[in-house]
Structure 1
Amino acid sequence: MTPRPILIDTDPGQDDAVAILLALASPELDVRAITAVSGNVPVARTARNALQAVELSGRAVPVAMGCDRPMRRAPAHAAHVHGDTGLDGADLPEPTIPLDPRHGVDVIVETARAADGLTLVPLGPLTNVATALRRAPDIAGRLGRIVLMGGAYFEVGNITPAAEFNIWADPEAAAIVFRSGVPLTVVPLDCTHKALTLRHRIERFRAMPNRAGPVVAGWLDFFERFDRDKYGTDGGPLHDPLTIAWLLRPDLFTGREINVEIETESDLTRGMTVADWWGVTDRPPNALFLGDVDADAFYDLLAERIGRLP
C-alpha cells in the first residue's frame, strides 16, 4: 500500500506533539513536511517544539516556520493551558536539526503542487493554510483533503462560550478554508471530549521502555491538569492526535456531512463554527463533521504506534 502523503501544519502544544509522533510512527503516512504557525505559543516556540517532536521520533522531516500572527487580528496564545514553552511536562534538549529556511506558506504551496492528492492536517489556527490558498488558488484543486482539529457544535467553546481556540484565534483564515471547496474532515470538541486522558491510559505510556512513551506521559500529565480543573473530569481531551487517527482508522469515528460556516463579525460569537448538524438550512454540506470516537480503540492505536518509536 502506497503511503498517503500528508503535510502537518501545527502549533505545538503537547497534543500537537503527540499527533506528530503518531504520524511519524505510522508507515501508512508519508509526512512530507511540518509547518509551524502562531497559536498555542508564539511561532518561534511552535517551530522549536515541532523540531523537538521530530527529533524525539528519530525520523527525518523538514520543519518550516510560518505566519507569526493571524490574518487580521492580534496574536492570541494559550500558555495558560500548555505552559510557557508549549511543551511543559517533559525536559527535552534543544533540537539539533535546523529549521527549513523556507517560509511555511511556501512549503505548503510547493508541497501541494509537487504531490497530487496531498492531505493537509492543520492542528492549530488556520493562518498558514488560508494564506497558501489565497496566494496560490490552484492548490485547492490539487489537495486531496484537509483534516483539521477545530470547532464544536454541542460542546460549543473552550476559549469563549461560543468558540474553540483554533478557529477563534484566526476566524478569517478559517472562513477561507471552509469556503475553499477542498474536501474537509473536521475533528471538533464534540469528538475530542470523548477521548479523555484517563490515568490508566497515561500510565500505559509511562511504562514503555522507549524514550518517547515516558515523554508523552509527562506531556499528558501537564496538559490534562487544566481540563481536569475546568471540567471536573477524570482526564483531559486529547484533541489533535484524533486527526491522524482518522487518517489511519476512519472506522473508529462517526460523523455527518454537513454545512459549517465561520462567524467573523460578532464580538460575542467570534470564531463560532455554525454547524448545521440537523440540516435546518439549504446550505450545501462542506465538511465531514465528526461527532464520536471509540476512545479505547484510539488509545490502543496510539499506544501501539508510540511504542514503535525510539
Structure 2
Amino acid sequence: MAKKLVIIDTDCGIDDAQALMMALAAPNIQILGITCVFGNAAVENVCQNVLRVLSVCERQQIPVFKGSGVSLIGVSKPFSDHFGTDGLGDVIKDKDPQWKEKIQREHAVNAMIRLVTDNRDQVSLVALGPLTNLALAIRLDPDFPQKLKDLYIMGGNMEGIGNVTLCAEFNFDMDPESAYIVLEDFLCPTHIASWEYCCRNALTWEFFKELMNQDTPAGRFMKMITSKCWAYSKTAMRNKRDIYFGSGFVSYDAYAVAACIDASVVTENIECPVHVELQGSMARGMMALDRTNALKKSHSVFVMKKCDGAKFSQLLMKSLRQPPAE
C-alpha cells in the first residue's frame, strides 16, 4: 500500500513534539518535509525543537525548513510561556550549536509550494501552529490549495470559548488574518480539530502516567520535556480549560495528526462553512460556525466533534515506543 504523503507545518512546542512523534511512528505516513512557524516560541527555537525530535526518533533525513517569524501583518505578540520560553519546557541544556547548518536553505513557504506542486493531489498538509506559512503560500501561488489532497488544522474554536482571549484560540489569535485567508481561500477538503474538540476528548491522567513511563528514547524524551511544564500537570492551578471542560490530559496537536493518520479516529464531524472574525476587541480571531449557511459561502469544512479515545490512545502510545529500547 502506498504511503500517505504529508507535510507538517508546526510551531513545535511540547504537544507538537508529541504530534510529530505520532506521525513518525505511523507506518502509512511519509513525511515529505517539516515547515516551521513562530507560535509557541520564536521560529529559531521551533526549528531547533523539530531537529531534536527527529534526532530522538532517528529520522534526521526528513528536511526541515524555517518559515515565518511574525504574523502576516507583522504584528508581534509576546510568546506564551505555556510550554516554557523555548517551547519544550526549558529543560534541554545541550543545545546544538550547529543547528542552523541542519536547516534547509529554502524558505518554508517556497518548499511547501514546491513539494505540493511536485506531488499534485497527493499531499496532506497538517497545520499545527499559526497559519502564516499557509496564507503566504496561497499569496505566492493562488493555485496552491487546489494542488493539495486535503488539509488538517489544529486551531480555532466552535463555541466562542477562547483559551488566550475571551473568544479566540491561541493559533488563530496569533495570526487572525492568516486564519481568515486559509479558511476563505483553501477549497480543498479541510478538517479542523478545534480547541473545544480537543478538550472534550481529553484522556485520563492515569493514561498520561502510563504514557510517560515508556522506556524508549522517545518516551524518555517526552518525560523530560513535560517534567516541569505546568500545562501537563494535573495539580496545576485550574485554568480556563478545566473550568469549562474538566480536568484531563490533552495533547492538542496530536488530535489533528491522528485524524490524518486514521480517519476513523474521528467518529463525528460538523460539516458547515466557517468564518474567522477580524474585528472587535473581544471576538478577533474567533472561528464562527455557520450551520445555516447564512453567509452563503461556496464551501464547507469538517469540524471534528467526537473522537474514538481508544484508537487515539493507541496512536499516542505507539508514538513513544520508538525507536525500540535496546
TM-score (norm 2): 0.88
Alignment of 1:123-202 (within 5 A): 123-154=128-159, 156-180=161-185, 181-196=187-202, 198-202=204-208
Q: Which amino acid aligns with 1:206?
A: M
Q: Which amino acid aligns with 2:105?
A: P
Which ranges in structure 2 are unaligned for 5 or more consecutive residues? Answer: none
Question: Is the CA contact 1:175–1:261 (under 8 Å) kept in the aligned structure 2?
Answer: yes
> In structure 2, how many angstroms separate the alpha carbons of the residues matched to 1:139 and 1:71?
17
Query: Which residue of the partner structure matches residue 263 of structure 2?
Result: 250
Query: Which residue of the partner structure matches residue 32 of structure 1?
Result: 32
> In structure 2, how many angstroms separate the alpha carbons of the residues matched to 1:166 and 1:276?
20
Question: Per the alignment, do residues 279 and 141 of structure 1 end up closer, same or farther by CA in structure 2, a change over 3 Å counting?
Answer: closer
Which ranges in structure 1 are unaligned for 5 or more consecutive residues? Answer: none
Q: How many residues align?
A: 310
Deviation at 1:252, TM superposition (A): 2.1
Which of 119, 130, 147 is the aligned partner of 1:115? 119
Question: Is the CA contact 2:9–2:125 (under 8 Å) kept in the aligned structure 1?
Answer: yes
Secondary structure of the corresponding residue to residue 89 of structure 2: coil
> In structure 1, how many angstroms separate the alpha carbons of the residues matched to 2:125 and 2:212?
31
Question: Per the alignment, do residues 228 and 26 of structure 1 end up closer, same or farther by CA in structure 2, a change over 3 Å counting?
Answer: farther
Secondary structure of the corresponding residue to residue 302 of structure 2: strand
Secondary structure of the corresponding residue to residue 215 of structure 1: helix
Question: Per the alignment, do residues 264 and 73 of structure 1 end up closer, same or farther by CA in structure 2, a change over 3 Å counting?
Answer: farther
Query: Which residue of the partner structure matches residue 19 of structure 2?
Result: 19
> In structure 1, how many angstroms separate the alpha carbons of the residues matched to 2:79 and 2:146?
33
Question: Per the alignment, do residues 160 and 262 of structure 1 end up closer, same or farther by CA in structure 2, a change over 3 Å counting?
Answer: same
Question: Is the CA contact 1:125–1:170 (under 8 Å) kept in the aligned structure 2?
Answer: yes
Query: Which residue of the partner structure matches residue 87 of structure 1?
Result: 88
Q: Which amino acid aligns with 2:131?
A: L
Question: Per the alignment, do residues 20 and 228 of structure 1 end up closer, same or farther by CA in structure 2, a change over 3 Å counting?
Answer: farther
* Percent of aligned pairs with the same amino acid: 25
Secondary structure of the corresponding residue to residue 81 of structure 2: helix
Which of 102, 113, 125 is the aligned partner of 2:106? 102
Query: Which residue of the partner structure matches residue 65 of structure 2?
Result: 64
> In structure 2, how many angstroms separate the alpha carbons of the residues matched to 1:144 and 1:86?
30
Structure 1 outlier segments of 4+, above 6 Å = none
> In structure 2, how many angstroms separate the alpha carbons of the residues matched to 1:255 and 1:209?
36
> In structure 1, how many angstroms separate the alpha carbons of the residues matched to 2:137 and 2:153?
16
Secondary structure of the corresponding residue to residue 164 of structure 2: coil
Question: Per the alignment, do residues 123 and 297 of structure 1 end up closer, same or farther by CA in structure 2, a change over 3 Å counting?
Answer: same
Deviation at 1:282, TM superposition (A): 4.1
Which range moved further: 274-283 or 238-247? Answer: 274-283
Secondary structure of the corresponding residue to residue 179 of structure 1: helix
